[in-house]
Amino acid sequence: MSKIAIIGGTGLTKLTNLTITGREVHVCKYGEPSAPLTRGLLAGKEVIFLPRHGAGHTIPPHKVNYRANITVLKNVGVEQVIAINAVGGISTAMSAQRIVIPDQIIDYTWSRAHTFFEEGLNEVVHIDFTSPYCEELRQSLIKAAAQAKIQIEPKATYGATQGPRLESAAEIDRFERDGCHIVGMTGMPEAALAREKQLCYASIAVVVNKAAGRGEGEEITMQEIEHNLVAGVDQVKRILEAVIPTL
Ligand code: HPA
Protein backbone atom coordinates (compact mmCIF):
# COMPACT_ATOMS: atom_id res chain seq x y z
CA MET A 1 0.00 0.00 0.00
CA SER A 2 1.34 3.37 -0.99
CA LYS A 3 2.03 5.81 1.81
CA ILE A 4 3.11 8.67 -0.46
CA ALA A 5 0.73 10.99 -2.28
CA ILE A 6 1.39 13.77 -4.75
CA ILE A 7 -1.22 16.52 -5.08
CA GLY A 8 -0.70 18.04 -8.51
CA GLY A 9 -1.34 21.72 -9.07
CA THR A 10 -1.83 23.91 -12.13
CA GLY A 11 0.11 22.42 -15.04
CA LEU A 12 0.26 19.02 -13.39
CA THR A 13 -3.05 17.28 -13.97
CA LYS A 14 -1.09 14.27 -15.24
CA LEU A 15 2.24 12.94 -14.03
CA THR A 16 3.89 11.77 -17.24
CA ASN A 17 6.66 9.95 -15.37
CA LEU A 18 4.11 7.84 -13.47
CA THR A 19 3.46 4.27 -14.64
CA ILE A 20 -0.24 3.98 -13.86
CA THR A 21 -1.38 0.79 -12.15
CA GLY A 22 -4.94 1.73 -11.23
CA ARG A 23 -7.62 4.34 -10.66
CA GLU A 24 -9.99 4.41 -7.70
CA VAL A 25 -13.13 6.42 -7.12
CA HIS A 26 -13.54 7.46 -3.48
CA VAL A 27 -16.21 9.42 -1.65
CA CYS A 28 -16.08 10.48 1.99
CA LYS A 29 -18.29 12.35 4.46
CA TYR A 30 -17.06 15.64 2.96
CA GLY A 31 -18.09 14.61 -0.54
CA GLU A 32 -15.98 13.83 -3.60
CA PRO A 33 -12.29 14.64 -3.97
CA SER A 34 -11.08 16.56 -7.02
CA ALA A 35 -10.66 13.35 -9.06
CA PRO A 36 -10.33 9.58 -8.70
CA LEU A 37 -7.04 8.59 -7.07
CA THR A 38 -4.44 7.42 -9.58
CA ARG A 39 -2.10 4.72 -8.31
CA GLY A 40 1.19 4.15 -10.02
CA LEU A 41 4.91 3.63 -9.87
CA LEU A 42 7.29 6.57 -9.85
CA ALA A 43 11.00 5.79 -9.82
CA GLY A 44 9.99 2.21 -8.99
CA LYS A 45 7.96 3.09 -5.91
CA GLU A 46 4.22 3.12 -5.44
CA VAL A 47 2.60 6.55 -5.17
CA ILE A 48 -0.89 8.00 -5.33
CA PHE A 49 -1.55 11.01 -7.53
CA LEU A 50 -4.45 13.45 -7.11
CA PRO A 51 -4.86 16.47 -9.43
CA ARG A 52 -6.11 19.28 -7.16
CA HIS A 53 -7.99 21.11 -9.91
CA GLY A 54 -9.61 17.95 -11.31
CA ALA A 55 -8.58 15.66 -14.15
CA GLY A 56 -9.59 18.30 -16.72
CA HIS A 57 -8.31 21.29 -14.70
CA THR A 58 -11.81 22.71 -14.17
CA ILE A 59 -11.97 23.30 -10.39
CA PRO A 60 -10.83 26.82 -9.38
CA PRO A 61 -8.75 27.25 -6.18
CA HIS A 62 -11.63 28.48 -4.01
CA LYS A 63 -13.88 25.58 -5.09
CA VAL A 64 -11.45 22.74 -4.43
CA ASN A 65 -12.90 20.30 -1.87
CA TYR A 66 -9.72 20.37 0.25
CA ARG A 67 -11.35 18.42 3.09
CA ALA A 68 -12.42 15.55 0.80
CA ASN A 69 -8.99 15.44 -0.86
CA ILE A 70 -7.14 15.16 2.45
CA THR A 71 -9.70 12.76 3.94
CA VAL A 72 -9.58 10.23 1.09
CA LEU A 73 -5.77 10.29 1.12
CA LYS A 74 -5.80 9.62 4.87
CA ASN A 75 -8.45 6.90 4.46
CA VAL A 76 -6.34 4.94 1.97
CA GLY A 77 -3.36 4.98 4.33
CA VAL A 78 -1.28 7.86 2.98
CA GLU A 79 1.28 9.24 5.46
CA GLN A 80 3.32 11.69 3.38
CA VAL A 81 1.94 14.28 0.96
CA ILE A 82 3.97 16.28 -1.55
CA ALA A 83 1.88 19.22 -2.78
CA ILE A 84 2.77 20.98 -6.02
CA ASN A 85 1.78 24.67 -6.11
CA ALA A 86 2.13 27.26 -8.88
CA VAL A 87 2.96 30.65 -7.35
CA GLY A 88 3.78 34.25 -8.14
CA GLY A 89 7.20 35.52 -7.04
CA ILE A 90 7.18 38.53 -4.71
CA SER A 91 10.81 38.94 -3.59
CA THR A 92 13.54 39.36 -6.22
CA ALA A 93 15.07 35.92 -5.61
CA MET A 94 11.75 34.33 -6.56
CA SER A 95 12.21 34.67 -10.30
CA ALA A 96 10.18 32.88 -12.97
CA GLN A 97 10.71 29.10 -13.13
CA ARG A 98 12.36 29.09 -9.71
CA ILE A 99 11.56 26.08 -7.54
CA VAL A 100 10.80 26.94 -3.93
CA ILE A 101 10.34 24.72 -0.86
CA PRO A 102 8.36 27.01 1.47
CA ASP A 103 8.75 26.78 5.24
CA GLN A 104 6.07 29.23 6.39
CA ILE A 105 2.55 30.30 5.44
CA ILE A 106 0.35 33.33 5.93
CA ASP A 107 -3.31 32.61 5.24
CA TYR A 108 -5.35 35.35 3.53
CA THR A 109 -8.09 33.02 2.26
CA TRP A 110 -11.66 33.35 3.49
CA SER A 111 -14.88 31.33 3.61
CA ARG A 112 -13.20 28.05 2.64
CA ALA A 113 -14.07 24.93 4.64
CA HIS A 114 -10.82 25.01 6.57
CA THR A 115 -11.05 22.55 9.47
CA PHE A 116 -12.17 19.06 10.41
CA PHE A 117 -12.71 20.17 14.00
CA GLU A 118 -16.05 21.95 13.93
CA GLU A 119 -18.88 19.49 14.58
CA GLY A 120 -19.58 16.63 16.95
CA LEU A 121 -16.60 17.45 19.11
CA ASN A 122 -16.05 16.18 22.63
CA GLU A 123 -13.73 19.12 23.18
CA VAL A 124 -12.38 22.10 21.25
CA VAL A 125 -9.21 21.22 19.31
CA HIS A 126 -6.35 23.61 18.43
CA ILE A 127 -3.58 21.98 16.40
CA ASP A 128 -0.03 23.31 16.55
CA PHE A 129 0.91 25.06 13.29
CA THR A 130 4.14 26.81 14.32
CA SER A 131 5.95 25.06 11.46
CA PRO A 132 3.19 24.49 8.91
CA TYR A 133 5.20 22.10 6.72
CA CYS A 134 6.72 18.74 7.70
CA GLU A 135 10.40 19.56 8.23
CA GLU A 136 11.60 16.01 7.55
CA LEU A 137 9.88 15.93 4.16
CA ARG A 138 11.07 19.46 3.37
CA GLN A 139 14.67 18.37 4.01
CA SER A 140 14.19 15.30 1.79
CA LEU A 141 12.95 17.56 -1.03
CA ILE A 142 15.89 19.95 -0.59
CA LYS A 143 18.38 17.06 -0.74
CA ALA A 144 16.65 15.52 -3.75
CA ALA A 145 16.78 18.83 -5.63
CA ALA A 146 20.55 19.04 -4.98
CA GLN A 147 20.95 15.47 -6.20
CA ALA A 148 18.96 16.31 -9.36
CA LYS A 149 21.17 19.41 -9.78
CA ILE A 150 18.23 21.78 -9.60
CA GLN A 151 18.75 25.10 -7.89
CA ILE A 152 15.99 25.89 -5.45
CA GLU A 153 15.03 28.35 -2.73
CA PRO A 154 15.01 26.21 0.44
CA LYS A 155 12.92 28.62 2.53
CA ALA A 156 10.09 31.04 1.81
CA THR A 157 6.87 32.33 3.28
CA TYR A 158 3.86 31.42 1.15
CA GLY A 159 1.00 33.92 1.17
CA ALA A 160 -2.24 32.05 0.42
CA THR A 161 -4.84 34.20 -1.36
CA GLN A 162 -8.46 33.56 -2.16
CA GLY A 163 -8.36 33.93 -5.96
CA PRO A 164 -9.35 33.16 -8.58
CA ARG A 165 -8.30 36.66 -9.59
CA LEU A 166 -4.67 37.66 -9.31
CA GLU A 167 -3.74 40.39 -6.81
CA SER A 168 -3.53 44.15 -7.11
CA ALA A 169 -0.02 45.66 -6.87
CA ALA A 170 -0.97 47.20 -3.49
CA GLU A 171 -2.04 43.80 -2.16
CA ILE A 172 1.36 42.38 -3.15
CA ASP A 173 3.07 45.36 -1.45
CA ARG A 174 1.13 44.51 1.69
CA PHE A 175 2.02 40.80 1.48
CA GLU A 176 5.69 41.75 1.12
CA ARG A 177 5.49 43.98 4.20
CA ASP A 178 3.92 41.02 6.00
CA GLY A 179 6.95 38.89 5.07
CA CYS A 180 5.62 36.83 2.14
CA HIS A 181 8.09 35.81 -0.58
CA ILE A 182 5.66 33.93 -2.83
CA VAL A 183 1.90 34.07 -3.39
CA GLY A 184 -0.51 31.35 -4.45
CA MET A 185 -4.14 30.33 -4.16
CA THR A 186 -4.02 26.70 -3.04
CA GLY A 187 -1.62 26.42 -0.10
CA MET A 188 -4.42 26.87 2.43
CA PRO A 189 -6.42 25.30 3.92
CA GLU A 190 -4.69 22.23 2.45
CA ALA A 191 -1.61 22.43 4.69
CA ALA A 192 -3.65 22.94 7.87
CA LEU A 193 -6.07 20.13 7.03
CA ALA A 194 -3.12 17.80 6.41
CA ARG A 195 -1.76 18.74 9.85
CA GLU A 196 -5.17 18.13 11.43
CA LYS A 197 -5.08 14.60 9.95
CA GLN A 198 -1.46 14.17 11.12
CA LEU A 199 -0.10 13.80 7.59
CA CYS A 200 3.49 14.79 6.86
CA TYR A 201 2.95 17.51 4.25
CA ALA A 202 5.38 19.68 2.25
CA SER A 203 5.18 21.73 -0.92
CA ILE A 204 7.19 22.14 -4.08
CA ALA A 205 6.23 25.60 -5.34
CA VAL A 206 6.97 26.70 -8.91
CA VAL A 207 7.24 30.43 -9.65
CA VAL A 208 5.25 30.95 -12.85
CA ASN A 209 5.13 34.75 -12.90
CA LYS A 210 6.39 37.80 -11.08
CA ALA A 211 3.63 38.88 -8.68
CA ALA A 212 1.47 41.90 -9.53
CA GLY A 213 3.50 45.09 -9.83
CA ARG A 214 6.82 43.21 -9.70
CA GLY A 215 7.32 42.26 -13.37
CA GLU A 216 8.53 44.07 -16.49
CA GLY A 217 5.12 44.34 -18.14
CA GLU A 218 2.01 46.11 -16.92
CA GLU A 219 -0.01 42.94 -16.67
CA ILE A 220 0.46 39.28 -15.88
CA THR A 221 -0.45 37.23 -18.94
CA MET A 222 -1.60 33.63 -19.20
CA GLN A 223 1.03 33.07 -21.93
CA GLU A 224 3.77 34.04 -19.46
CA ILE A 225 2.32 31.72 -16.81
CA GLU A 226 1.96 28.79 -19.22
CA HIS A 227 5.47 29.21 -20.61
CA ASN A 228 7.04 29.19 -17.14
CA LEU A 229 4.87 26.31 -16.00
CA VAL A 230 6.20 23.99 -18.69
CA ALA A 231 9.82 24.54 -17.65
CA GLY A 232 8.95 24.57 -13.96
CA VAL A 233 6.96 21.36 -14.04
CA ASP A 234 9.82 19.59 -15.79
CA GLN A 235 12.06 20.44 -12.82
CA VAL A 236 9.36 19.32 -10.37
CA LYS A 237 9.22 15.91 -12.07
CA ARG A 238 12.99 15.53 -11.75
CA ILE A 239 12.84 16.37 -8.04
CA LEU A 240 10.02 13.85 -7.57
CA GLU A 241 12.06 11.15 -9.31
CA ALA A 242 14.94 11.87 -6.97
CA VAL A 243 12.93 12.14 -3.75
CA ILE A 244 10.44 9.27 -4.01
CA PRO A 245 13.01 6.46 -3.66
CA THR A 246 14.37 8.13 -0.48
CA LEU A 247 11.01 8.28 1.34
N1 HPA B 1 -0.85 35.16 -7.44
C2 HPA B 1 -1.60 34.19 -6.86
N3 HPA B 1 -1.57 32.93 -7.27
C4 HPA B 1 -0.76 32.61 -8.28
C5 HPA B 1 0.04 33.57 -8.92
C6 HPA B 1 -0.01 34.91 -8.48
O7 HPA B 1 0.67 35.82 -8.99
N8 HPA B 1 0.73 32.92 -9.90
C9 HPA B 1 0.34 31.61 -9.83
N10 HPA B 1 -0.55 31.42 -8.85
Query: What phi and psi, each to the nearest 5 degrees, are found at residue 234?
Result: -60, -40
**CA-closest residue to ligand 1 atom 5:** 88
Give the distance (Å) from ligand 1 centre to CA of residue 185.
7
Q: What is the pLDDT of residue 11?
A: 72
For the chain, strand residue ranges (E) read 4-8, 19-24, 37-42, 45-51, 80-89, 99-100, 104-107, 152-153, 157-160, 182-184, 200-210
Give the distance (Å) from ligand 1 centre to CA of residue 182.
8
Q: What is the pLDDT of residue 10?
A: 77
Q: What is the pLDDT of residue 126?
A: 94
State which residues of the chain have pLDDT below 70.
1-2
Give the distance (Å) from ligand 1 centre to CA of residue 55.
20
Q: What is the pLDDT of residue 15?
A: 77
Task: Answer whether 0.95 is exceeded by the pTM.
Answer: yes
Q: What is the pLDDT of residue 216?
A: 80
**CA-closest residue to ligand 1 atom 7:** 88
| Ligand 1 first shell, C-beta below 6 A | 86-88, 161, 166-167, 183-185, 208-209, 211
CB within 8 Å of 133: residues ≥ 6 apart: 102, 103, 105, 191, 201, 202, 203
Q: Domain 4-246 sits in which CATH superfamily?
A: Nucleoside phosphorylase domain (3.40.50.1580)
- CA–CA distances in Å: residue 107 to residues 82, 143, 230: 19, 27, 27
- Enumerate the domain spans of the chain: 4-246
Q: Which of 143, 154, 153, 102 is nearest to 239 (CA)?
A: 143
Q: What is the pLDDT of residue 17?
A: 82
Q: What is the pLDDT of residue 1?
A: 55
For ligand 1, pick from 209, 220, 224 the residue to mutate: most ligand atoms within 8 Å of CB. Answer: 209
Q: What is the pLDDT of residue 135?
A: 98
- CA–CA distances in Å: residue 175 to residues 82, 96, 192, 205: 25, 18, 20, 17
For ligand 1, pick from 166, 172, 174 the residue to mutate: most ligand atoms within 8 Å of CB. Answer: 166
Q: What is the pLDDT of residue 232?
A: 93
Q: What is the pLDDT of residue 2?
A: 65
Q: What is the pLDDT of residue 132?
A: 98
Give the distance (Å) from ligand 1 centre to CA of residue 23.
30
**CA-closest residue to ligand 1 atom 6:** 88
Give the distance (Å) from ligand 1 centre to CA of residue 160.
9
Q: How many CB atoms lie within 10 A of CB 25?
A: 10
The per-residue pLDDT for range 96-121, each reduced to its tens digit, is 999 999 999 999 999 999 999 998 89
